[in-house]
Amino acid sequence: MSSASKASTAPSSQALPRSRFEMVEVTARLCQRLGMPKSTGQIYGLLFLSVHPLSLEEIAEALGLSKASASTGTRHLIGWHAIRQVWKPGDRKDYYEVQADLGDVLRANYLGFFKPKLDAASRKLVVLQELLDADLQSGAIQNEEHTVGRERLQSIARMHSRIQKVLPFAEKLL
Amino acid sequence: MSSASKASTAPSSQALPRSRFEMVEVTARLCQRLGMPKSTGQIYGLLFLSVHPLSLEEIAEALGLSKASASTGTRHLIGWHAIRQVWKPGDRKDYYEVQADLGDVLRANYLGFFKPKLDAASRKLVVLQELLDADLQSGAIQNEEHTVGRERLQSIARMHSRIQKVLPFAEKLL
DNA sequence: CAGTTCGTTCAATTTGCACTGAACAGATAG
DNA sequence: CTATCTGTTCAGTGCAAATTGAACGAACTG
């Protein structure tokens, strides 16, 4: 336990330096814009400018979050390979620090998240083509609708394959 | 008014073909994952497999939405250059159709949305560096924190410039 | 000039999701 | 074994964003 213990819901008992505070805000907004919880972004920003790994409770207190939020947030970030857990010998707490190499983060997310989505999209595209054919067979759509639909789905497919051609390049360069 | 008029909140008085219905679901989920309103995605999916441009009311009725939602949704999509308005001579209604070339859509959004964000991020990075220096001056942070912070911010800057090098390439290829 | 037919805007409601406090489970120490 | 310290899970709460109905304004029509 620390000596000072007055703040309850306040951001922290000891305010963050402005650079740290601003960083937390930036990453929070970024996360929010990406459709992710704001608190998760705050955690990343806090850890990003932290010299030492921080424990769950330190994170929660510094940001004025509950332990629960800190726990879910850190696990999200770990899932995206943005931070990682570290342990100190003789200490049962979990500590967290940012993954230093941003290139690794992007690569890992490409391989573990984006790439699978692309493949799934590819399969879905095939399914849609089949549904379109089936609708033609059953008379649910006319010939013209079938033709136009097929054409548009193929334009997605072309774009899709072009993206798959480009991404591995980008992956290497980052 | 059409002849049949039983459905009130039902998706539509006449069910969509399966291919169309599935397409609407796919784009709806995609939009939602990107943090955009689901209804906007539905509209895009509907228009994507539509042979003719559709009016606001047709969209609203086919998807079981209010005219209000259809109106805001279409204007969002227009803002992203995903669809466009067309008019039929002697008809006061607005009609909407998908922008055929997906490459154009991506390029337009890169130039009008993503690129400016990247530039803003670049400026923000400079501000953060300055704040970090100021915190060192004022004694808010130690020398070590300043060094580590500077290093990490620079790693973002490097990644940032690499991305800016790669993106124009990708832009051409799509 | 009324009377329609459009699209948009706005207040009010609903929906969905982040966040929380409390209960829980696992591990360690005494 | 009991007691304590850790992180996680879960039902409940609150808030922000989406959606809607109704009012509005603009553009035609007769």
The number of domains in chain A is 2
Q: Which nucleotides of D are covered by protein (CB under 7 A)?
A: 5-10, 17-22, 27-29
pLDDT category at A13 given cuts 50, 70, 90 is low
pLDDT of residue B3: 34
Q: Cα–Cα distances in Å, from A149 out to A136, A139, B48, B82?
A: 11, 15, 8, 17
> In this structure, is residue A28 part of a structural domain?
yes
Q: How many other CB atoms sit within 10 Å of the CB of residue B114?
A: 13
Nucleotide nearest to B72 (CA to C1'): C8
Query: Residue B59's Cα: distance from chain center in Å?
Result: 19
Which of B53, B69, B98 is where one domain is finished? B98
Q: CB distance from A118 to chain B under 8 Å?
A: no
Residues A126 and A140 in one domain: yes
> In this structure, is residue B93 part of a structural domain?
yes
Query: Residue B144's Cα: distance from chain center in Å?
Result: 41
Residues A86 and A111 in one domain: no
> In this structure, is residue B6 part of a structural domain?
no
Q: Tell if the CB–CB gap between A166 and B170 is shorter than 8 Å.
A: yes
Residues B133 and B72 in one domain: no
Residues A50 and A63 in one domain: yes
Q: What is d(CA B154, CA B119) in angstroms, rounded to the nearest whole number? A: 16
Q: What is d(CA A54, CA B16) in angstroms, rounded to the nearest whole number? A: 54
Average pLDDT, chain A: 91
Residues B93 and B27 in one domain: yes
Residues B54 and B126 in one domain: no
**Nucleic strand C within 7 A of Cβ A66:** yes
Q: Tell if the CB–CB gap between B174 and A156 is shorter than 8 Å.
A: no
Residue A4: pLDDT over 70: no
- A14 vs B139, which has greater pLDDT? B139
> In this structure, is residue A27 part of a structural domain?
yes
Residue pair B50/B97 in contact (Cβ under 8 Å)? The answer is yes
pLDDT of residue A12: 53
Residues, chain B: 174
> In this structure, is residue B5 part of a structural domain?
no
Residues B25 and B93 in one domain: yes
> In this structure, is residue B7 part of a structural domain?
no
Residue A28: pLDDT over 90: yes
User: pLDDT (tens digit, 0 to 9) for every residue of chain B, 174 residues total?
Assistant: 333 333 334 455 678 999 999 999 999 999 999 989 999 999 999 999 999 999 999 999 999 999 999 999 999 999 999 999 999 999 999 999 999 999 999 999 999 999 999 999 999 999 999 999 999 999 999 999 999 999 999 999 999 999 999 888 888 888
Residues A74 and A144 in one domain: no
**Nucleic strand D within 7 A of Cβ A71:** yes
DSSP tag of A114: I
B80's tokens: 């992203």
> In this structure, is residue B4 part of a structural domain?
no
For residue B82, give its domain range. 18-98
Residues A133 and A92 in one domain: no
- Counting other chains too, the contacts that A123-130 makes at CB distance below 8 Å and 24 or more residues apart are A124/B26, A125/A153, A125/A156, A125/A157, A125/A160, A127/B22, A128/A153, A128/B19, A128/B22, A128/B23, A128/B26, A129/A153
Residue among A25, A99, A19, A85 nearest B130 (CA) = A19
Inter-chain contacts counted by CB atoms under 8 A, chains A and B = 106
Mean pLDDT in residue range A91-115? 94
A25's tokens: 């805000």
Residues A23 and A87 in one domain: yes
| Per-residue pLDDT tens over the stretch A106-137 | 999 999 999 999 999 999 999 999 999 999 99
**Nucleic strand C within 7 A of Cβ A29:** no
Place of tokens 């306040």: A10
pLDDT of residue B111: 93
Nucleotide nearest to A92 (CA to C1'): D6
Which residues of chain B does A103 touch, with a Cβ-Cβ cutoff of 8 Å? 159
User: What end-to-end distance do the CA atoms of chain B give, in Å?
Assistant: 43
Burial class (CB in 10 A: 0-12, 13-18, 19+), B70: buried
User: In this structure, what CATH number is given to the domain that contains residue B74?
Assistant: 1.10.10.10
pLDDT of residue A164: 92
| Per-residue pLDDT tens over the stretch B68-112 | 999 999 999 999 999 999 999 999 999 999 999 999 999 999 999
**Nucleic strand D within 7 A of Cβ B65:** yes
Residue pair B44/B81 in contact (Cβ under 8 Å)? The answer is no
Residues B109 and B93 in one domain: no
Residue pair B83/B74 in contact (Cβ under 8 Å)? The answer is yes
Q: Tell if the CB–CB gap between A18 and B134 is shorter than 8 Å.
A: yes
Which of A53, A80, A98 is where one domain is finished? A98
Spanning CA of A48 to C1' of D17, the rounded length in angstroms is 30
> In this structure, is residue A23 part of a structural domain?
yes
pLDDT of residue A1: 35
Which of A48, A74, A98 is where one domain is finished? A98
Runs of H (alpha helix) within chain B: 18-33, 38-48, 56-63, 67-79, 102-109, 115-137, 143-173
Residues A82 and A128 in one domain: no
